[in-house]
Amino acid sequence: MKKDLEPIVDNKLLFNIVVPVFNAEKYIEKCLNSIINQSYKRFQVQVVDDCSGDSSYEIASSICKDIKNFKISRNPRRIGALNNICNLLNRQIKEPTKTVDLIIDGDDYLYSGDVFNILKEKYIQTNCLITYGSHISSRGVQGKKYPRLIREFNLFRKYFWYASHLKTFRHDLWLALNPKDLINKNREYFSVASDLAIMFPMLEMAGNRQEFISDILYVYNDNNPISDHTIRRKEQILAAREIRQKKIYNKRTFY
């Protein structure tokens, strides 16, 4: 029998979490448990296994099957992280302005059980549309806020990349993104540097309604031997260059 998480209450934020997984059998249990153990319980989780060649799906499925707010699927062929993220985020959301999307990679995990509470307070207190923040990796604590002039003049694509983990955004902001900007010159979803393709347009549209969270919220597993920055570094650089050259979005007004 599936366990129920906290009942939906109309005046609370809903966290919509997508977890793309590929060959993460050593890490996926810790990832999913870090979500389950959050003190703020109003969330739903969509896990997709991208045709892993290990036991990732079996491990994740054994965890998800007992929890009502968790759904899991498995691709018959590998389609890439960004394609999976788009498929999951494009599913119907009842109240986009009250739903915050989170992307958590299957080999990473949330730093503490208070992550969702910290995010909830940030969104409610600041009325922001998007957040990025501090995370920890083998290189220690990382994370910086974009300088005021970069934010004011929409120069994110010309500056250093700061909009890293944990990446969160209100669902209506996601819906305003043009799907064509997630496609490369070969008319395929970007297979690397997808975080830039996702975040740059939304940062640009959000304007001043964006927040850097200094609290450590996320643990980035840069020791995974199949990480893109390890085995596809050259491709990452080329994809990032292409993304940075795309048309800049204008700031938009959101409710």
CB 127 within 8 A of CB 178: no
- Examine residue 253 and state whether it is found in any structural domain, yes or no: no
Residue 9, domain member (yes or no): no
Count of domains observed in the chain: 1
At 208, list the tokens. Answer: 């001043």
pLDDT score, position 225: 58
Bridge partners (DSSP) listed for residue 15: 43, 100
> What CATH number did the domain enclosing 111 receive?
3.90.550.10
What is the predicted pLDDT for the residue at 231? 55
pLDDT digits (tens, 9 = 90+) for 175-209: 999 999 999 999 999 999 999 999 999 999 999 99
Would the pLDDT of 162 be above 80?
A: yes
User: Would 7 be classed as within a structural domain?
Assistant: no
**Strand pairing report for 140-142 and 130-137:** antiparallel
pLDDT at 229: 57
Q: In the prediction, which pLDDT does 140 show? A: 94
Residue 128 has pLDDT above 70, yes or no: yes
pLDDT for 4-23, tens place per residue?
444 334 458 999 999 999 99
Determine, yes or no, domain membership for 130: yes
Average pLDDT, the chain: 92
| Residue at 8 is within a domain | no
Q: What is the structure's pLDDT at 230?
A: 60
pLDDT of residue 92: 86
Indicate whether 5 belongs to any domain: no
Encode pLDDT of 99-122 as tens digits.
Answer: 999 999 999 999 999 999 999 999
Strands 99-103 and 14-21, by their bridges, are: parallel
| Residue 3 forms part of a structural domain | no
| pLDDT score of 5 | 45
Among 115, 129, 139, CA closest to 43: 115
| Within a domain: 2 | no
Average pLDDT over residues 151-173: 96
pLDDT in tens, 203-252: 999 999 999 999 999 999 988 655 655 656 889 999 999 999 999 999 99
What's the pLDDT score for residue 6?
44
| Domain of residue 178, residue span | 14-244
Q: Given this model, what pLDDT does residue 233 score?
A: 81
